[in-house]
Amino acid sequence: MIRKPIPRLHRIVLGIVGFVILLAGYSWVSHRAHVENPRNKTLPNFSQFQEGWHRIATGEGGIEFWADVTASASRLAIGVGAGVLLAFIIGLAMGCFPVIESLLMPPLAFFAKIPPTAMLAVYFVFFGVTGIKIFIALIAFGIFPTLAQAITQAAQKDVDEHTLYKSYTLGASNFEVVWEVVLKQILPRIIENARLQIGPAMVFLIAAEFALADQGFGYTLRMQSRLQNMNIVYTYLVVLGVFGLVIDWLLILLRRLMCPWFGD
């Protein structure tokens, strides 16, 4: 039978095996490249990685790891924060009031379909090319349309009409219904959708940093791949992956903490 559960231990072992295969595959490819050309820099071997880590740790060779982390993390945090806040207000309003929905949904649905990375140039015109504004705008407006639509849908579908009638019968005002009833019920959905938008947000961040940052992950990735220091590039990519997993895990934790009734 398909989907037959397997023991937890097997799951863990298989997970580790997955990574081991990946690592073994890479080592083999790298080894072969070094047999062909011992000075190969594009598929670094372990000692080349160590050298790269040493450079990152000591800040040698113009690599400022912590400055990159701070720059990228703050851009991402402010950008996602602004996007979520905007989507929360507009999405909730659209979900609760059909007038607002009719007015805003068509343009939103339209803009949700244009990838922000395709209109980078438009962002540069409107938000300038210096300072942090452009990063925040790109991330916030990048994730806002999809997120707002999801929140609207949650407010409309996930809240049972009977609950609304009951609240009104008990004498609740419009505001109280929205704040106390609707919001409470859709909060886990909001957090969940925000979590799913972290991926796209990172795409927008890196795209912008590739073009116009002088610090941050996108900047270092571009510079170092230009200079073919792939030992630095791969290391940064791994850190970026871990970075994403940590944010993911934090948001799941937040959801469990704020909405324990929602379950896993």
Q: Which residues sit at the interface with another protein, rule CB under 8 A?
A: 6, 10, 14, 17-18, 21, 24-25, 29, 37, 39-42, 51, 55, 61-62, 121, 124-125, 128-131, 210-214, 219, 222-223, 225-229
Q: Least distance in Å: CB of 143 to another protein?
A: 22
Q: Least distance in Å: CB of 207 to another protein?
A: 11
Q: Least distance in Å: CB of 76 to another protein?
A: 19
Q: Least distance in Å: CB of 19 to another protein?
A: 11
Q: Least distance in Å: CB of 227 to another protein?
A: 5
Give the integer Cα–Cα distance in Å for 133 and 124. Answer: 10
Q: Around Cβ 198, how many Cβ atoms within 10 Å? A: 18
- Residue nearer to another protein on the CB measure, 85 or 125: 125
Give the distance from CA 244 to its chain's centroid.
Answer: 7
Q: Least distance in Å: CB of 22 to another protein?
A: 8
- Residue nearer to another protein on the CB measure, 4 or 113: 4
Distances (CA, A) of 245 to 25, 35, 53, 148, 252: 23, 35, 21, 24, 11
Q: Least distance in Å: CB of 148 to another protein?
A: 28
- Residue nearer to another protein on the CB measure, 19 or 175: 19
Total number of residues shown for the chain: 264
| Cβ-defined contacts of 169-175 (< 8 Å, 24+) | 174/96
- Residue nearer to another protein on the CB measure, 167 or 229: 229
* All residues at 6 or more sequence positions from 205 whose CB lies less than 8 Å from its CB, including other chains: 72, 75, 76, 79, 135, 138, 139, 216, 217, 218
Q: Is 62 left (phi over 0), alpha (psi -120 to 50) or beta?
A: left
- Residue nearer to another protein on the CB measure, 120 or 181: 120
- Residue nearer to another protein on the CB measure, 40 or 117: 40
Q: Least distance in Å: CB of 105 to another protein?
A: 31
Residue environment code for 226-246, b if the CB has 16+ CB neighbours within 10 A, otherwise e: eeebbbbbbbbeeebeebeee
CB 218 within 8 A of CB 205: yes
- Residue nearer to another protein on the CB measure, 67 or 164: 67
- Residue nearer to another protein on the CB measure, 63 or 84: 63
Give the distance from CA 86 to its chain's centroid.
Answer: 17
Give the integer Cα–Cα distance in Å for 46 and 44. Answer: 7
